[in-house]
Every structure is written in structure tokens, then in C-alpha cells.
Structure 1
Amino acid sequence: MPHLKTAPRLAAPVAVLALALTACGGGDDADATGPASPGVSAAPSRAASGGDLATGESATGKVAEGPGEVTYEVVARKVEVGTEAEAAKAVADAADAEGRVLAVAHVEYTHKGGPALTEGSDVHDGTTVFADGQRGGVLVGGASDDAPGCEDPYDVRSWKQGESHVFCETYLVPADATSVEVHWEERDGEPYVWRYSRR
């Protein structure tokens, strides 16, 4: 099973491990070049319905937005996993983060069809982070939009077809988890899953 490689995240006040991700599974046709690089994908294929996706593979789905239904292409770019000490500082009561670390999922959304948006988007509402098959605890006010490469979805007021934005979600997951998953789903749909191993 492919594994994660670590690299320092420079912008964090406490050392954070930026984990490049490679998807679990995949056959002989899977990308064998190693960990995925943020923002780099060579003509990824698109899944037709919910299910497991490989590194760089994107999903296409529809979201009901204010001005009408919008089609998005979605791909998980990376997850940054922090330390237990950082998690303790990020919550009001350090006991709530005992044995847990922060996992920040960077997900890129591309407007592929439908009306232009002028008052924000709900596409990121379908994103969650799991660890070892269990949903993590969402960190409200996790300030993940302040991390390098992350945008605040509420600041995106104009979004036209062909444009992409990267929104990030922060979750608390067990420090000893052996895998991390990024899920995205349309309303009432099956989730698309990017699954990664940790060593």
C-alpha cells in the first residue's frame, strides 16, 4: 500500500507535518511516480459515481447553488497532519484533543458548468475527513483557510465557469490512525473517497 511522506509546513507556529498523499489501491495502471504534488495532475480521469478514487483522479458532481445547479470537478490535493501539541492548542479544552491530531484536507473545486456564482458556494459542505474508516471531529473555526494554498470559501464572491478554488477542512483524528480519507459527496449521493495510508 502506498504511504505518506512527510515534509515541514513552514507557516505553522508549531511544527506541522505536511503529508504528501498517494492513494491506496489501484492496479497496474495507477500512477507509479510516487506522492502526488499539489496542483499537479496529468489529465485525471473522472469517476461516474461515488467510490474510491486514485491520486489525482477527480470526481464530477452537481450542487444546488443560489443562482442554479452548478457542475463541479472535485479532487483532493493533499492532507496536512499536525502534532498532538498543536491540536491541544487549537481547542478550548486541551483534554478534548488528547490522543488526536489535526488533519487539514486541501480540496480543489473547478466550476465546470452552470451559472456563475456571485454570493459564495456550498460545494465544500460535502467534504469530510475520516481516519481508519471513522469520521473525524470537525474543528469549527480551525482557520484552515489561513494555511498556505487555502482560500476562505466565504470570500469567493465571483466564480465563473472554468475557474478553480482550493478550500480546506480541518478535522481532529486519532494520532495513531493508519489511514486518512477525504470524502466528498453530492446531496443524497454516495461519497467519493480519496484514501491514504500513514506510516
Structure 2
Amino acid sequence: MLYRKTALRAAAPVAVLALALTACGGGDDKKSDDNAKSDAASSQAKPKEAPALAAGESTTGKVKEGDGTVTYDVAAEKVDLATEAETKKLVSDPKRAEGLVAATAHLKYTHKGGAPLTDTPDAPDTTEIYADGARGGLLIGAAEDAAGCEDKLDLEGWKKGESHVLCETYLVPAGAKSLEVHWAEKDGADPAVWKLPAK
């Protein structure tokens, strides 16, 4: 396990520069810059509408963690927006970030039930950020270095009663009017949705 953590940490500086667009058809390095940008901003079919939560309000979900299931209380606290200039420093090809800004969602997870984790948590992996109704493009590895965010590689052994703030960073259009943070128990499940102001 120590080897795995060390290897992942060694890869982190490169991951910060890797832009992975999770929009439909995104993430292909052979695409033109214009196509990459449009993928991040294009409209897509949104998940089933759920009652919106406000910043700090929580939902409860059960997540498969290793060989067991952990019950988490999850609350999206805020989304920090970078400037366009700051965002260009986070990607390997600044042209791909033209007109986009990095949005970092801060979610507080509280272990409410189940066995202590034996590996890094999977709970934050289903976090997504939408801007003006369109899903952004995932920026891999940037969230761990953001202020107020913890590195999930440090959380092996997380047990009942402990809370940690884990983050995800997405690229969204600069000037977006509204932001939503989505989190689900697992891929394909209806997400909890927090509607947050774009700041």
C-alpha cells in the first residue's frame, strides 16, 4: 500500500496539468482546441432533477468502500472559482482553457457508519460541477492542492465520527451565472444537487 501511495503522489504534479474533459466525447487529445472548449461548455442531458440543497445542507448516502459499505453524511460547502489567468497555469496547454475557469467544489464528508476504510475513499469520485446547466470538464489532480482541501491519499483508516473536506475541480465557462454541485452514492444513481452562486 505504501508503494501505491508513493507512486500516486509522484504522478500528482503531472496530473495537475492533465485536462480530462468528461463531457460526452471529451478528453481526446487529438481534438482541436475549439472542440475541447466546446465540450466543456456544451449542453448535455442532465441527471434527473432532485430537490436542490443550499450550501452546507447535507444528504446521506451509502458508498461501497473496498469490501464494505460506508454511510456518509455529505454537504457541499462552497465552490471556489479561479481567474482565467490562474486557470491557464493549471493546464498543460493554456489554449485549451480559453474562456474557462477552474471551479473547485468543497464537500464535507462525515463517516456515519460502517467499518474504517482500508484504502483511499471512493466517496468523492462521483462529484460533478455543472455551470448554467452544462457539466464542466474534470481537471485531474488540481483539487488536492487547493486551499482547504484534503488529499484523499492521506485518509486510509478513516473511521466512524471523522469528517474530512474533499474537493473536485472542473473547468467551467467564465462568467457562468449559476453553479451546481452534484454528488451520488454511485455512478448512475440520482444525485443530490446543491445550487450555489457563481462568485
- When the two structures are superposed, what TM-score results if normalisation uses the length of structure 1? 0.72
The structure with the largest helix share of the pair is 2
**Aligned partners of 2:182, 2:189: CA distance in 1, in Å?**
12
Unaligned runs of 5+ in 1: 1-48
Residue 181 (structure 1) aligned with residue 180 (structure 2): yes
Partner of 1:70: 70
**Aligned partners of 1:69, 1:50: CA distance in 2, in Å?**
24
- Which one-letter code corresponds to 2:88 in the other structure? A
Paired residue secondary structure (1:141): coil
**Percent pairwise identity:** 56
The structure with the largest strand share of the pair is 1
Partner of 2:144: 145
> 1:50·1:189 contact (CA, 8 Å) conserved in 2?
no
**Aligned partners of 1:107, 1:58: CA distance in 2, in Å?**
10
> 1:51·1:191 contact (CA, 8 Å) conserved in 2?
no
**Aligned partners of 1:102, 1:198: CA distance in 2, in Å?**
12
**Aligned partners of 1:50, 1:197: CA distance in 2, in Å?**
18
Paired residue secondary structure (2:96): helix
CA RMSD in angstroms, aligned pairs only:
1.5
1:67 Cα offset (Å): 3.2
1:50 Cα offset (Å): 4.8
TM superposition outliers: structure 1 runs of 4+ over 6 Å: none
Residue 194 (structure 1) aligned with residue 187 (structure 2): no
1:107 Cα offset (Å): 0.6
- When the two structures are superposed, what TM-score results if normalisation uses the length of structure 2? 0.72
- Which one-letter code corresponds to 2:150 in the other structure? E
Q: Deviations over 1:98-117 (max 9, x none)?
A: 00111011111000011111
**Aligned partners of 2:128, 2:198: CA distance in 1, in Å?**
18
**1:101-120 matched pairs, under 5 angstroms:** 101-120=101-120
Paired residue secondary structure (1:91): coil
- Which one-letter code corresponds to 1:182 in the other structure? V
> 1:67·1:117 contact (CA, 8 Å) conserved in 2?
no
Partner of 1:134: 134
**Aligned partners of 2:111, 2:50: CA distance in 1, in Å?**
19
**Aligned partners of 1:156, 1:89: CA distance in 2, in Å?**
28
Partner of 2:86: 86
**Count of residue pairs the alignment pairs up:** 150
- Which one-letter code corresponds to 2:168 in the other structure? E
**Aligned partners of 1:54, 1:164: CA distance in 2, in Å?**
19
Partner of 1:23: none
**Aligned partners of 1:182, 1:113: CA distance in 2, in Å?**
24
Partner of 2:167: 168
**Aligned partners of 1:146, 1:87: CA distance in 2, in Å?**
13
Unaligned runs of 5+ in 2: 1-48
